[in-house]
């Protein structure tokens, strides 16, 4: 288990380091202005779908059904072709009605900004086709307990975008964002290529070839699992993606605020997503196939043992990340972004929003692993209802807090929804099971460690602030 978690975490760490390098270049070259906002909006829709597909919904619905299905090749190919056709048609619709889709995701933009952003929105949406292919192949590799390719492949997107930024440096911002748009497409294509190599290495190509060959002849054998997948997938989209949808809503509402607000939310959320992906998502991806197998074989005790170990590891890491991020928020943002076109006022605005996001890191991360129990037992609809309540709270507090607090209020609303998600997820998992997990000697160690850590962080903050 820990080897898989380490592999995922190290791969994500590599990608996120490159991602921060990309953000540093982007902040230095573009700053926080209307052109940065345009690129972020253009990338927002495919990036939202990427996170939903790659970090939860597809795998959490596909793997349990794939594991149970006798005709695995036929099942896999059938699901793949249906999704691929839908996404191609969806991408063509975005191309034909790019202005309408841009207006939907950035309602507060004026007409000229919408006109500028619309073609870029259409271009970058094709990235979603590549990332679905990647996610499908990654799910097959997860079934083989291979995680490294997917974990490290995400770095290729950042490599492509860094290359695009360096190639466009010195050009007008309106041109640079197009370089970055083509960089997104190149990054998607590179990820597909490395996954195809891995699929061949792990002898999965015969499974897919057989699925294509016998799909029409044996499709009746997969009807039960296909219907189960269809019923579970759309519920999983909502159930596994609360943090991502919250960030998407933040960006939409921020389009009504002053120019740069979308960029502040983006930069702060990028830092927030770092520990969430590095620890919570890496852990959930690593343990989900095994939890699914244990529960399929009615071995609940081993599944609970795995969740217990994961919980305490995650609780310690996320507590450390939360305390460090909130206390050292200004030095962190200063170190990462304050150079070139990114000014001191931009640092303060981004740091405040970062603190609001980090308040919800622990509940979002812990809810992530306990929701696996629901997905592994085909309770996707229940997980979706929980997320619906969480999103409702997010929307309510966003509308309440946006006026007095601006963009920081949107981030705080997202964190408050994380606490609702956590409480309801634990209720669905079972208070008795959760109580048994937290009645552990590690609890006192975590509290003591946190009490020691916080004064040290405040002293470190005083030292770092003197250099700001």
CA separation for the pair 324, 332 (Å, rounded) = 9
pLDDT for res 274: 86
Query: Which residue, 252, 254, 271, 268, is CA-closest to 346?
Result: 268
Alpha-carbon distance 249 to 414, whole Å?
Answer: 9
Distance between CA atoms of residues 362 and 322, nearest Å: 7
pLDDT for res 154: 82
For residue 465, what are the contacts with CB-CB under 8 A and spacing of at least 6? 330, 331
What are the pLDDT tens digits along the chain (468 aa)? 556 666 667 777 787 788 878 888 887 777 766 777 778 777 877 776 766 665 566 777 777 777 777 777 788 888 888 889 988 998 899 899 988 888 877 777 778 888 888 888 889 889 989 988 998 998 888 888 787 888 788 889 989 999 998 888 888 878 888 999 899 999 999 999 999 999 998 888 888 888 777 777 666 667 777 777 777 776 666 665 666 676 667 767 877 787 778 788 888 988 998 898 888 877 887 787 778 778 877 788 888 888 888 888 888 889 999 999 999 999 999 888 887 777 888 889 999 999 999 999 999 999 988 988 888 787 878 888 888 899 889 989 999 999 889 889 999 999 999 999 999 999 999 888 888 888 877 767 777 777 788 888 888 777 777 666
| Closest listed residue to residue 427, CA positions, set 369, 386, 368, 381 | 386
d(CA 295, CA 286): 16
- Residue 53's nearest CA partner among 124, 149, 135, 142 is 135
Helix axes 361-376, 57-68, angle to 10 degrees: 20
pTM over the 0.75 mark: no
Asked if 46 and 125 touch (Cβ cutoff 8 Å), the reply is yes
Q: What is the rounded distance in angstroms from the CA atom of residue 205 to the CA atom of residue 196?
A: 9
Burial of 272-302, coded b for 16+ CB within 10 Å and e otherwise, reads bbbbbbbbbbbbbbbbbbbbbbbbeeeeeee
> Using alpha carbons only, how large is the chain's radius of gyration in Å?
22
Phi and psi, residue 109, nearest 5°: -70, 145
Q: How many CA atoms lie within 13 A of 14 on its CB side?
A: 16
CA distance 178 to 200: 34
């Amino acid at each position: 288990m820990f080897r898989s978690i380490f592999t995922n975490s190290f791969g994500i760490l590599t990608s996120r380091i490159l991602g921060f390098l990309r953000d540093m270049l982007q902040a230095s070259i573009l700053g926080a202005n209307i052109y940065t906002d345009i690129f972020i909006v253009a990338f927002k829709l495919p990036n939202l779908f990427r996170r939903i597909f790659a970090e939860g919904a597809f795998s959490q619905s596909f793997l349990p059904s794939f594991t149970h299905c006798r005709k695995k090749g036929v099942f896999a190919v059938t699901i793949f072709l249906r999704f691929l056709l839908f996404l191609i048609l969806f991408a063509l619709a975005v191309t034909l009605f790019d202005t309408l889709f841009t207006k939907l995701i950035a309602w507060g933009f004026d007409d000229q900004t919408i006109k500028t952003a619309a073609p870029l929105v259409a271009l970058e949406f094709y990235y979603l086709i590549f990332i679905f292919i990647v996610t499908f192949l990654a799910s097959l590799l997860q079934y083989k307990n291979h995680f490294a390719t997917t974990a490290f492949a995400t770095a290729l997107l950042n490599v492509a975008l860094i290359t695009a930024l360096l190639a466009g440096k010195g050009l007008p911002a309106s041109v640079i964002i197009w370089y970055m748009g083509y960089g997104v497409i190149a990054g998607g294509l590179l990820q597909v290529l490395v996954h195809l190599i891995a699929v061949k290495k792990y002898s999965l190509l015969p499974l897919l070839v057989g699925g294509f060959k016998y799909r029409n002849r044996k499709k009746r054998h997969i009807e039960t699992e296909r219907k189960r997948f269809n019923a579970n997938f759309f519920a999983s989209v909502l159930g596994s993606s609360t943090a991502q949808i919250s960030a998407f809503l933040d960006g939409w509402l921020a389009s009504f605020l002053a120019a740069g607000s979308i960029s502040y939310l983006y930069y702060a959320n990028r830092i927030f997503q770092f520990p969430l992906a590095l620890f919570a998502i890496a852990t959930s991806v690593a343990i989900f196939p095994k939890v699914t197998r244990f529960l399929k074989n009615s071995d609940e005790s081993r599944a609970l043992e795995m969740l217990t170990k994961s919980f305490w590891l995650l609780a310690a890491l996320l507590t450390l990340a939360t305390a460090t991020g909130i206390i050292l928020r200004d030095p962190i943002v200063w170190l990462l972004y304050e150079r070139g076109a990114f000014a001191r006022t931009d640092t303060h605005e981004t740091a405040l929003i970062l603190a609001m996001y980090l308040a919800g890191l622990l509940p979002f991360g812990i809810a992530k692993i306990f929701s696996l129990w629901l997905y592994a037992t085909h309770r996707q609809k229940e997980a979706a209802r929980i997320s619906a309540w969480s999103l409702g709270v997010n929307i309510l507090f966003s509308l309440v807090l946006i006026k007095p607090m601006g963009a920081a209020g949107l981030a705080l609303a997202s964190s408050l929804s994380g606490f609702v998600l956590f409480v309801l997820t634990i209720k669905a998992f079972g208070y008795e099971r959760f109580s048994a997990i937290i009645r552990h000697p590690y609890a006192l160690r975590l509290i003591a460690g946190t009490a020691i850590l916080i004064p040290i962080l405040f002293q470190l903050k005083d030292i770092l602030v003197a250099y700001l």
